[in-house]
Amino acid sequence: MTIPIALRLDLRGVTKTFGGVRALDSADLQVLPGEVQGLLGTNGSGKSTLIKVLSGFHAPDTGRLEIDGRPVSLPMPLGRSEAYGLAFVHQNLGLLAEASVLENLIAGDHERLNPWWINWRAEADRARRLLDDYQLDLRPEQIVADLSPVARAQLAIVRAADRVREHRSHGSPGVLVLDEPTPFLPREDVRQLFTIIRRLKQSGVSIIFVSHDIDEVLEVTDRSTVLRDGKVIGTYDTADTDRETLVHAIVGRSVSVSRRVSALADAVPTVRVQGLSGAILSDISLSVRPGEVLGLTGLIGAGHDEVPMLLSGAGAARVGRLSMGGHEIDLTRLRPSDAIAAGIGFIPADRLRLGIAPDLSLTENATLPLLGRALWLNHGRLGETTADLMRRFAVKAENPHQAASELSGGNQQKMVLSKWLQLRPQLVLLDEPTQGIDVGARQEIYDRLAEVCANGGAVICATSEFEQLEAIAHRVLVFDRGRIKAELKGDKVTKASIAQACYEGANEHAAE
Amino acid sequence: MRQNDLTYQLERFGLVIVWLGFIALFGAMRPDTFLTWSNFSTIFGSEAVLVIVTLGLIIPLTAGDFDLSIAQTLTLVSMSTAILDARLDVPLMLVIPIVLALGALIGLINGAITLYFRVHSLIVTLGVGTFLHGITLWIGNSQTISGVSPMLMEWVIIQRYWGIPIAFYYAMLLAVLIWYMLSYTAFGQHLLFTGRGREVGRLTGVAVGRVRLTAFVLSGLLGAVAGILYTGTTGSANPSSGTFLLLPAFAAAFLGATCIKPGRFNPWGSVIAVYFLVTGINGLSVLGFRTFVQDLFYGGALVLAVMVSQLVSGRKERGL
């Protein structure tokens, strides 16, 4: 690597607080011309906040930014980042599936296009040249929905590169931010993306490569910056570093979390899942004992969060069987009503879409599963039932007839939990149960789950919060690309060892 | 408690107050023609059909679906009733179940297409409605068919209680039934979740597909009931009868959702909204305005109703 003369991008002292929590704590990021720089960190490390400061989505509390030595005032005006030579490719790629490659390439290119007249023939020629430059086997008239996942990712990257290639404001190549573009791609497809990244680099473009995958970062980057708890832990020359160093930097020294798991009786498992496959999951099997909290975790795209969806009938499995309490359930045709009848309760992650109907009242939300086919609803009684649940689950609200939208996230989640736990389910499924919820409500939710266990119920909790698993899980399964790659039990269930298992290469660790 | 809140009560009964205000205003201006029992009993009786169409609409609307075909279901049923009764001499006791089944079948078709092909109900029922109008013109030869048996008229418009034709009481009976269904049965809650929290409902075991299908069948049935009553009211069937009912029914459904149970489609709100709208039009025509006031009034009311309901929900959001 050459000694830098000037920095392409220089971000210094960025601090951002959300409601008293420091998401970023005087973070710095320096990017050289024509380098690929990795950005690593766990969930909540501040990676995405940093990217959102660059894109103008967040206004930082403090901090300054220079691009090619010129100061840029923060917050970056939304939608103006391309004029400063910054382009972003997010995980969802931002492509319109039903539109053509050409339409997607020119979408939003306000800098260049005449707003009153699009010369389609010239644009198609330009698109063909662009696709040729990057040796992409795509035609402008192809519909994006028909493309393979990797071709879509390539298209999104080339589009972003095109926006900053000329760096329309002052003639030098720009900076491309690739924000987790790979988690749903197979390894061989990731290689194809790397070819484009290297080609871009040769043309002088700088790339910030955000990823959870250390192997990929080691393979494609020149330097890597690691964030933890909002702070920059360090920037490492990739050639001189190894996986161990990076994992250590990402995970850090482990702070012990107070574990609150109950002693587990030596019982036979009451819940068994066999040969489960879904959109990501591929042929996994697991079992849970009565009174046990089984934690499922993994990085983005690992598929652990699919398990609760498939076991509750929220989504259809490709294959899979569930046996519990004498029921033999075919997971390919499980409907939510069957799951409820079998004694399964599911607390979903997307609370406002799947968990609770915000427009409707607390009573309506809480009592829906009790109604059956009733032809006479006693509203007084339903209201009392709800008021009773609200007392037992410490839901803070004025009255049971309030709209659910008027409650805080934590109270909504307690309401969702109470709706399911009043049915006394034998298997409770949770997906990110404490997302966006304050510490107090978290503890109350953990207490309720402990009660379920004390009554002989089984709990499966999918989460990306390692600390939560250390607090409540008896056992943790770590997922990677649809398979279980590690199992941690007893005093191995710590934040640090879970993180270690998540970041370790799949080849080094086989499923137990 | 919100229930005791004065602004909430004003919101619930706002439309009733405006309605009474209209009556007072027109009554003061034309006491001799507007403010007579015969004028009101005529309004109550003749608009029973519109009430039933509106009641039919709010069932799929609660489940989040539009039934734009309901007015043409009415027309086709009305035409079928007249043809079966007057032309083919099928006994009335047989005609009624046949045309009710026809209405239910139309609902079933609407629902099946919407659900199976996952097309928005707005488009499906727009097409189906136009198709039904085509059938109506075809089987009726684009003509008005009269000569319906007096029995039907007897039981729709001629029998009166307290001066109001019996059709009005049918409409009220249906309003009671639908009110009961929406408020006091599990199915009512299932409809509500299907419309306002479909995924939450689905994950809680509500068979949302079946609920939507049932809602379409019920609106088809109510469209058929309205069609039978329409034939009974006029003693004939004309091929454009329903065309002028669709917009008023939507206006009344949305206006009705701003009162009694604000924020929800509800039968008593719909009934009040229908009579509020026709009182306004009746009053204006008594004052000498001509037919264009109908369109001004219905169209204006629909737009105003959705604006008000947005304002109301906006107010609630700010109240957080």
Please report the sign of the dihedral spanned by the C-alpha atoms of residue A248, residue A280, residue A353, residue B202: negative
Q: Find out whether A476 and A502 touch, Cβ atoms under 8 Å.
A: no
Q: Find out whether A293 and A489 touch, Cβ atoms under 8 Å.
A: no
Question: Chain B partners of A335 at a C-beta cutoff of 8 Å?
Answer: 205, 207
pLDDT score at A337: 94
Q: Please indicate whether, in this complex, the C-beta atoms of B320 and A405 are within 8 angstroms of each other.
A: yes
Q: How far is B304 from chain A (nearest CA, A)?
A: 22
Residue in this structure with the two tokens 């418009």, named with its chain if needed: B157
Q: Please indicate whether, in this complex, the C-beta atoms of A375 and B186 are within 8 angstroms of each other.
A: yes
Buried b (16+ CB within 10 A) or exposed e, B17-33: eebeebbeebeeebeee
Nearest CA in chain B to A367: B189
Lowest mean pLDDT among A39-43, A316-320, A327-331, B81-85: A39-43
Buried b (16+ CB within 10 A) or exposed e, A3-19: eeeebbbbbeebbbeee
Secondary structure letter of residue B85 according to DSSP: I
CB pairs under 8 A between A and B: 84
Count of C-beta atoms within a 10 Å radius of residue A406: 18
Nearest Cβ partner for B186 among A337, A371, A398: A371
d(CA B185, CA A80): 54
Q: State the distance between the two ends of chain A, measured CA to CA, in whole angstroms.
A: 42
Q: Find out whether B258 and B305 touch, Cβ atoms under 8 Å.
A: yes
Give A350 or B215, the one with higher predicted confidence: B215
Helix (H, G, I), strand (E, B) or coil at A143: strand
Chain A residues with CB under 8 Å of a chain B CB are: 312-314, 335-337, 340-341, 346, 348, 353-360, 364-365, 368-369, 371-377, 379, 398-399, 401-403, 405-406, 419
Nearest Cβ partner for A337 among B3, B193, B207: B207
d(CA A304, CA A189): 22
Give B138 or A440, the one with higher predicted confidence: B138
Residue A483 has pLDDT above 90, yes or no: yes
Question: Chain A partners of B2 at a C-beta cutoff of 8 Å?
Answer: 399, 401-402
Count of C-beta atoms within a 10 Å radius of residue A41: 25
The tens digit of pLDDT for each residue in A454-468 reads 999 999 999 988 888
Instruction: Provide the token pair at A129.
Output: 């040249």
Lowest mean pLDDT among A351-365, A470-484, A485-499: A485-499
B72 contact partners, CB below 8 Å, separation of at least 6? B128, B129, B130, B132, B133, B136, B242, B243
Q: Please indicate whether, in this complex, the C-beta atoms of B205 and A369 are within 8 angstroms of each other.
A: yes
pLDDT score at B267: 97
d(CA A239, CA A235): 12
**Chain B interface, best mutation among A344, A351, A360, by max B CB count within 10 A:** A360
Q: Residue A284's beta-bridge partner residues?
A: A276
d(CA B57, CA A377): 24
pLDDT score at B314: 59
E-state strands within A139-261: 175-179, 206-210, 223-228, 231-237
Give the residue among B92, B54, B82, B37 at the shortest CA–CA distance from B266: B54
d(CA A43, CA A300): 10
Question: Chain B partners of A403 at a C-beta cutoff of 8 Å?
Answer: 316
Q: Please indicate whether, in this complex, the C-beta atoms of B203 and A373 are within 8 angstroms of each other.
A: no
SS3 letters across A443-454: HHHHHHHHHHHH
In which element (H, E) is residue A480 found?
A: strand A475-480
CA atoms lying within 13 Å on the CB side of residue B211: 26
pLDDT score at A2: 47
Q: Please indicate whether, in this complex, the C-beta atoms of A359 and B196 are within 8 angstroms of each other.
A: yes
Count of C-beta atoms within a 10 Å radius of residue A223: 20
In which element (H, E) is residue B106 found?
A: helix B92-116
pLDDT in tens, chain B (320 residues): 455 678 888 888 988 998 999 899 988 988 888 888 888 888 898 899 999 999 999 999 999 999 999 999 999 999 999 999 999 989 999 999 999 999 999 999 999 999 999 999 999 999 999 999 999 999 999 899 988 989 898 888 888 999 899 999 999 999 999 999 999 999 999 999 999 999 999 999 999 999 999 999 999 999 999 999 999 998 999 998 888 899 999 999 999 998 898 889 999 999 999 999 999 888 888 888 877 888 888 888 888 888 877 776 654 543 32
Q: Please indicate whether, in this complex, the C-beta atoms of B196 and A372 are within 8 angstroms of each other.
A: no
pLDDT score at A56: 87
Backbone torsions φ then ψ of A338, nearest 5 degrees: -65, -40
Q: Residue A86's beta-bridge partner residues?
A: A175
**Chain A interface, best mutation among B177, B196, B204, by max A CB count within 10 A:** B204
Q: Please indicate whether, in this complex, the C-beta atoms of B197 and A359 are within 8 angstroms of each other.
A: yes
Instruction: Provide the token pair at B297.
Output: 């009034």
d(CA B224, CA B76): 8
Secondary structure letter of residue A172 according to DSSP: S
Instruction: Provide the token pair at A422.
Output: 């009043």
Percent of chain A with pLDDT over 90: 52
Q: Please indicate whether, in this complex, the C-beta atoms of A356 and B186 are within 8 angstroms of each other.
A: no
Residue A307 has pLDDT above 70, yes or no: yes
Report CA dihedral (A261, A263, A268, A274) to the nearest 10 degrees.
Answer: 10
Radius of gyration of chain A measured on its C-alpha atoms: 25
CA atoms lying within 13 Å on the CB side of residue A34: 11
Give the residue among A479, A423, A496 at the shortest CA–CA distance from A294: A479
- Helices B292-318, B267-286: axis angle to 10 degrees equals 140
pLDDT score at B198: 95
Nearest Cβ partner for A354 among B2, B196, B203: B203
Q: Find out whether B282 and B236 touch, Cβ atoms under 8 Å.
A: no
Cα B176 to Cα B90, B100, B156, B181, B270, distances in angstroms: 31, 20, 19, 9, 12
In which element (H, E) is residue A485 found?
A: strand A483-489
Q: How far is A203 from chain B (nearest CA, A)?
A: 47
Query: For chain A, what is the mean pLDDT?
Result: 88
Q: State the distance between the two ends of chain B, measured CA to CA, in whole angstroms.
A: 15
In which element (H, E) is residue B249 found?
A: helix B246-256
Pairing between strand A36-40 and A223-228? Answer: parallel
pLDDT score at A505: 63
**Whole-structure pTM value:** 0.84
Secondary structure letter of residue A403 according to DSSP: B
Helix (H, G, I), strand (E, B) or coil at A116: coil
Nearest CA in chain A to B263: A359
Nearest CA in chain A to B316: A406
Q: Give the residue-averaged pLDDT of A148-166.
A: 87
Nearest CA in chain B to A423: B204
A184 contact partners, CB below 8 Å, separation of at least 6? A149, A280, A301
The confidence band for A169, taking pLDDT boundaries of 50, 70 and 90, is low
Question: Chain A partners of B183 at a C-beta cutoff of 8 Å?
Answer: 377
Helix (H, G, I), strand (E, B) or coil at A512: coil
CB-count burial class (<10 Å; 0-12, 13-18, 19+) for A512: exposed
Query: Which B residues 189-218 touch A at CB under 8 Å?
Result: 189-190, 192-193, 196-197, 199-207
Q: Measured between CB atoms, does B186 come within 8 Å of chain A? A: yes
pLDDT score at A509: 40
Residue A203 has pLDDT above 90, yes or no: no
Residue A486 has pLDDT above 50, yes or no: yes
Instruction: Provide the token pair at B280.
Output: 């306004």
Nearest Cβ partner for B199 among A341, A353, A401: A353
Cis peptide before A308 (omega within 30 of 0): no
Q: Measured between CB atoms, does B300 come within 8 Å of chain A? A: no
Helix (H, G, I), strand (E, B) or coil at B243: helix
Q: Residue A448's beta-bridge partner residues?
A: none
**Chain B interface, best mutation among A368, A370, A399, A420, by max B CB count within 10 A:** A368
Please report the sign of the dihedral spanned by the C-alpha atoms of residue B263, residue B268, residue B270, residue B273: negative
pLDDT score at A166: 63
